[in-house]
Structure 1
Amino acid sequence: MRAYYFDDLPGDQRLPHDSGKSVSDETLEAIGVLHWHIPVDEAGGFKAVDAVATQRNYKNRDVIVITKESLGDEYETKIKNFYKEHMHEDEEIRYILEGSGFFDVREHATESWIRCHMSAGDLMVLPAGIYHRFTLDEKNRVRTMRLFKDEPKWIAYNRGIETDTSPYRLDYLKSIEVH
């Protein structure tokens, strides 16, 4: 995974938008973002992913494919929806099995976007309450394992007054020591 500040220039969201300013692992950790690179085992074994799941108490998982073929007529709408700034009430955990894409996470202190380019073998944990968004890159394909602490769910709460004051957002800000 490569992390850098988003350049904020207009243009296709699937382009790199690379400002040339790298972001360190320490900066990501300071905002609660964790990541590992775990090579995808072609034989189907996921021992290292299972170890992370056990350590973090993830009980369920599924696999999703995001491509023009898999989403059909809903493709453009789904891609635009994923790219809206939002948060979740649960951690968001993604392990890239094939393809690649971008997770953009909001750095609270500066309101800057940090772009994380992920490809096969990258596993990322976004804390509950962090503002983020997702898009494919120019390859327009990703197959991703989603991990969940409880039953699989994916409810996005778009940024606004209600999400800014939600208990999950406030807990997140407390966890990164923002007052």
Structure 2
Amino acid sequence: MVQAWYMDESACDPRLPHRFEPDRPVSLKQLRALGVLYWKLDPDKYETDPELAQIRRDRNYSWMDIITICKDSLPNFEEKIRIFYTEHLHLDEEIRYILDGSGYFDVRDKTDKWIRICMEKGDMITLPAGIYHRFTLDEKNYVKAMRLFVGEPVWTAYNRPAEHFPARKQYMKFLEQTV
């Protein structure tokens, strides 16, 4: 099952867990209140998994690809990692399914505090359009992930501040309704 926690304020290596002492865990219910959805699937059968196929049908995820993020396979690795870790939002949902390896998605809560979500093999997450987030590898420096989209893929990230986008305004309205 996925683990999530409030992050400490340390500026050291982002690939470290950044847990408070004592730990401040975050539940799936708290993530759902932010619009973050989570599934645990069997990545060894992703090509024939009926549960994944059903999720894709239900949520209209019609396009997918697979990306491997590691020094040996991603051109401009260090630059890409910095870009992924820069706080941003998207105008569409971001869907990632971890097929191998691990990493962290960080999302902002309602009070603008960082929550770290530890993603490992078999974890699938959907981040709503308009949520501020970022991604980094963990200390293993490797992840293989499926990226899913509704329709054609859109790769545009809008760095913070991006309050003027309708997706952000709609997301903020969603948060107000989940109080």
TM-score bin, normalised by smaller chain: over 0.9
Aligned residue number for residue 17 of structure 1: 18
Map residues 102-141 of structure 1 onto 2, 5 A cutoff: 102-107=104-109, 109-141=110-142
Q: Distance in 2 between matches of 1:177 and 1:112?
A: 16
Q: How does 1:73-112 map to 2 (within 5 A)?
A: 74-107=76-109, 109-112=110-113
How big is the shift at 1:175? 1.5
Q: Paired residue for 1:170?
A: 169
CA shift for structure 1 position 46:
2.6
Point out where structure 1 has 5 or more consecutive residues left out of the alignment.
none
Aligned partner of 1:57: which letter?
Answer: N
- Tell me, yes or no, if structure 1 residue 33 matches structure 2 residue 32: no
Q: Which runs of 5+ in 2 are unaligned?
A: none
% same residue: 50
Q: 1:68 aligns with which of 28, 50, 71?
A: 71
* Corresponding residue SS for 2:118: strand
**Paired residue type of 1:97:** L
Equivalenced residue count is 175
Separation in 1, partners of 2:90, 2:25: 26
Alignment partners' CA distance in 2, 1:99 and 1:31: 25
Poorly superposed stretches of 4+, deviation over 6 Å? none
TM-score normalised over the length of structure 1: 0.93
Alpha-carbon deviation of 1:124? Answer: 0.1
Aligned residue type for 1:4: W
Q: Deviations over 1:65-91 (max 9, x none)?
A: 10000124x111100110000000000
